[in-house]
């Protein structure tokens, strides 16, 4: 499933805000919840919803959340949770090559398959496979220098 930051999020047919971020496990890179806010910024007024509420067949357009069963809190890895937002920088060899614009998630496992970035609104998007990306620095995703970047 594709999740792009800034996408309208609806619950029970009412708009509750925009997709502001994703909360993922720092070790496995599996997304556990989405963050929704009125203005699309991961600020103090943001709300979380579990990834299970997002339909597995979502690929484009508004995100229409479905009802989800209450479940026990899951334990996180020792690395803790990482927050991915539109302000997450994409870095290669110490230079910024863009900001995170969205992610592609495997609907069965919740793991990040690829990321989409953009340097400016007028530049082409960057598509990078998640395998081999370094998520260890908060607020940054580090790209290996020899990785090819596909532009769309």
Please state which of the four CATH numbers 2.60.40, 3.30.450, 1.10.12, 2.30.30 is assigned to the domain occupying 85-151: 2.30.30
Residue 46 has what pLDDT? 84
Mind listing the pLDDT tens digit for each residue in 74-88?
Answer: 554 555 889 999 999
Calculate mean pLDDT across residues 28-56: 87
Mind listing the pLDDT tens digit for each residue in 91-127?
Answer: 999 999 999 999 999 988 999 999 999 998 888 999 9
Q: Does domain 2-65 have CATH number 3.40.50.300?
A: no
Same fold, 2-65 and 85-151: yes
Residue 40 has what pLDDT? 79
- Percent of the chain whose pLDDT exceeds 90: 53
pLDDT surpasses 50 at 1: yes
Quick one: three-class SS letters along the chain?
Answer: CEEECCCEEEECCEEEEEEEEEEEECCCCEEEEEEEECCCCCCCCCEEEEHHHCCCCCCCCCEEECCCCCCCCCCCCCCCEEEEECCCEEEECCEEEEEEEEEEECCCCCEEEEEEEECCCCCCEEEEECCCCECCCCCEEEECCCCCCEEC
Confidence of residue 72 (pLDDT cuts 50, 70, 90): very low
Residue 50 has what pLDDT? 93
| Higher per-residue confidence, 57 vs 137 | 137
Q: List the domain boundaries for the chain.
A: 2-65, 85-151
């Amino acid at each position: 499933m594709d999740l792009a930051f800034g996408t309208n999020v609806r619950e029970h047919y009412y708009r509750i805000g925009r997709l502001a971020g994703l909360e993922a496990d720092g070790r496995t890179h599996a997304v556990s919840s989405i963050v929704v806010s009125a203005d699309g910024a991961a600020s103090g007024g943001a709300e979380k919803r579990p990834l299970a509420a997002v339909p597995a067949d979502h690929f484009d357009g508004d995100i229409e959340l479905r009802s989800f069963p209450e479940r026990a809190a899951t334990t996180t890895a020792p690395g803790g949770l990482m927050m991915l937002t539109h302000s997450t920088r994409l870095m290669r060899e110490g230079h910024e090559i863009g900001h995170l614009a969205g992610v592609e998630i495997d609907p069965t496992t919740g793991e990040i398959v690829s990321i989409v970035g953009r340097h400016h609104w007028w530049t082409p998007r960057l598509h990078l496979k998640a395998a081999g990306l370094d998520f260890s620095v908060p607020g940054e995703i580090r790209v290996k220098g020899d990785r090819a970047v596909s532009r769309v």
